[in-house]
Amino acid sequence: MAPQTPRHHRNLVIYEIFVRNHGPHGTLRDVEDDLPRIHALGVDVIWLMPIHPIGQQHRKGSLGSPYSIRDYYGVNPEYGTQDDFRGLVEHAHALGLRVMLDMVFNHTAFDSDLVRDHLDWYHRGMDGGPYRAIQGWTDIVGFKHPNADLENYLIGVLRYWAGLGVDGFRCDVASLLPKSFWREARQQLDGLRPGLLWLAESVNAGFIAHERAGGRSALSDCELYGVFDITYDYDVWPIWQAAVTGRVPVSRYLEMLRFQDCIYPANYVKLRYVEYHDSARILGFAPTRAQALAWTAFQGFNKGAWLLYAGLESGGDHTPSLFDIDPIVWNQYGLESFLRSLALLKKDSAQVEGQFVVAAAEPAIQAAWQYRDGSLYGVFNVSAASGAVDVQLPDGTYEDLLGHTPVQVRAGKMCLPGSAAILRFHQDSELRPFFSDLIDFPKPAAG
């Protein structure tokens, strides 16, 4: 039987950290020193990108990718020691933060001990050596699943880190491993540490098609939800990027959100984000800063867990390197107050208990969390329009919970915010969803 994802997972705020580039020394102790600030931001879970020793053979850049794993049981000595890791976990727990660790079970570095000792666990080329046939993945070699011995070993890795206090796992390219493996891993780990958080890096449709065309297995999000609590938003990510940059109408992206509601389990949780370690910074590709902030606010308001990639609060547009020392320039944390307000609203009773509805797409996204004890109404000016906009709110004066300024609604209209505004309102009638005007399927006949 598939695990039942707790509904509150959709209200989690997850903070992604690349240890090498987070602090002045690129160490676990740097991260530990920053935990109080991260906690004050409204974060629930810190996700540490892989902390293991990195392969040297065919490494990318000067220091290599953290996803080229040499030793699953080790801590990269550049980051510190296992005692440093234990200290970080203990401090996080004392603050009420959970720690999620990145697990990479599709491949290893060329110079992993497993290549030497268990060559039969890998895909093999014509020369008999290991390989992984994905363009650009030049620093890794791929496991050949299914393999009972390999999978028992990998479950042992999960048990080890859970035993050190890890509270969950972000599973790299989870779609490329067998569902039977993930099901067995989940069952065993639930017996060891009930309540662990499971996040799958699902993949986009093009990736799935590529793998299946090559005769390889690739799990869809629907299949992954049989095991995982949360999956990536990759299924709609290309359309979202096209909407941000003006290549498709915003309405097309919003329709995909309803499509997700129709095809995934009722309790599904998506990971919503505007940037992460494999993407450009939102401030680097959105047309304007105001639009970047509007999209950031919408994804924080959207239904699903919310991911903050460390450095977003600095308000910079530089995409950190994964292969070299490239520390975040924090710039006095210019967006910290903005992000904290959004993070705190994730815990508002309307978002925890209410129903999400999208009410408009143009000229600004309008969406609401409807709840009997007080609803939230968001206006997200992703098009950088000016002037007034029709809203489904009673006339009156409201407080913008992001900018903490008054907002007037007169004759059903309000001035468009510079980027975003979120208002609290009380209204007995249901809002009109904007989708009903685009797709109006007839209701089934009775009987």
Around Cβ 179, how many Cβ atoms within 10 Å? 15
In the predicted structure, residue 446 carries a pLDDT above the cut 70: no
Alpha-helix residue ranges (DSSP H) falling in 245-335: 250-263, 282-285, 289-301
Q: Estimate the crossing angle of helix 250-263 against helix 237-244, to 10 degrees.
A: 160
Q: What is the CATH number of the domain that holds 400?
A: 2.60.40.1180
Instruction: State which H helix or E strand residue 169 sits in.
Output: strand 168-171
Q: Which residues contact 84 (CB under 8 A, 6 or more apart)?
A: 27, 28, 29, 32, 75
362 — pLDDT class (breaks 50, 70, 90): very high
In the predicted structure, residue 373 carries a pLDDT above the cut 80: yes
Answer whether residue 446 is part of any domain. Answer: no
pTM for the whole structure: 0.95
DSSP strands (E only) in 104-184: 107-109, 140-142, 168-171
Helices and strands: H and E segment counts in the chain: 14, 18
Note whether 281 and 369 are same-domain residues.
no
Q: What is the CATH number of the domain that holds 240?
A: 3.20.20.80
Among the three residues 347, 375, 403, which one is the final residue of a domain in this structure? 347
Note whether 94 and 167 are same-domain residues.
yes
How do residues 160-203 score in pLDDT, each as one tens digit?
Answer: 999 999 999 999 999 999 999 999 999 999 999 999 999 999 99
Look up the domain containing 363 and give its range. 355-437
**How many distinct structural domains can be found in the chain?**
2
What was the pLDDT predicted at 131? 81
Note whether 385 and 309 are same-domain residues.
no
The dihedrals phi and psi of 397, each to the nearest 5 degrees, come to -110, 130
Q: Are 284 and 395 in contact (CB under 8 A)?
A: no
Q: Are 353 and 371 in contact (CB under 8 A)?
A: yes
Cα separation, 171 vs 175, in Å, equals 9
Among the three residues 292, 320, 347, which one is the final residue of a domain in this structure? 347
How do residues 276-286 score in pLDDT, each as one tens digit?
Answer: 999 999 999 99
Answer whether residue 50 is part of any domain. Answer: yes
